[in-house]
Amino acid sequence: MKRKFLAFTVFALFILVPTANVSGFEHIDNINDGISVYFLAHLNTSQTIEINITHTGEGNFALFLFDTRPTESFINLDKSLNPRIFDVAINYSLEDNPYIYYTSLASKIYYIQLILIENGPDTFFLDCNLDSLTRYYIPIIAGYNLSFLIISLILVFVIILYRGKLQNKFKNKI
């Protein structure tokens, strides 16, 4: 009888206590000074995005939101910000823990750039209210050495082919 009463009580608690429905996007990463991390999200008209950055160290982060794909990193050679970024970005935050709250005016893809300006390396935690936010891993922008990547891939491919031909010669001799 006690087991039935206990089972009924536990079952009633599960029904009466609401379950938490947590949704959103979280990302943790460690970056160095002058490094950018990119994200993108599709927003419908009047949809709101809320992005909050916290960090563990003394890093000085900057958070930018763009309504078009960035064509450059806006980071100078001395790892400072290029002032033109403020003309291109539709919203930005330079606070200790950067925070952006933006309501979309048009249905399109929005780009997020997080930059560690100084006092790195530092680990950051990005929290966003949207599940659709994704990491943008290889931005084809000025400053990203795409030619080095292509040359490296071709070199690896040639090495694999050459090594395969050498192995075939040794198999034929045996």
User: What is d(CA 146, CA 20) in angstroms, rounded to the nearest whole number?
Assistant: 44
83/75 Cα distance (integer angstroms): 9
Q: Is the pLDDT of residue 171 over 70?
A: no
Distance CA 15, CA 101 (A): 35
For residue 20, the model assigns a pLDDT of 46
Instruction: Please say if the pLDDT value at position 49 is more than 90.
Output: yes
Averaged pLDDT of the chain:
84
The pairing of strands 36-43 and 108-118 is antiparallel
* Mean pLDDT value of segment 100-104: 96
Q: Which of 24-28, 71-75, 111-115, 142-146 has the highest mean pLDDT?
A: 111-115
Q: Residue 21 pLDDT more than 50?
A: no
pTM of the model: 0.69
β-partners of residue 81 are 75
pLDDT for 152 equals 84
106 or 143, higher pLDDT: 106
pLDDT higher than threshold 50 for residue 105: yes
Q: Domain residues of the chain, as ranges?
A: 24-167
| 72 within 8 A of 141, measured Cβ to Cβ | yes
Q: Report which of 149, 145, 119, 107 is spatially closest to residue 55, judged by C-alpha positions.
A: 119
The Cα 84–Cα 73 span in angstroms is 11
99-104 average pLDDT score: 96
At the topology level of CATH, where does 24-167 sit?
Answer: Jelly Rolls (2.60.120)
pLDDT in tens, 74-83: 998 888 899 9
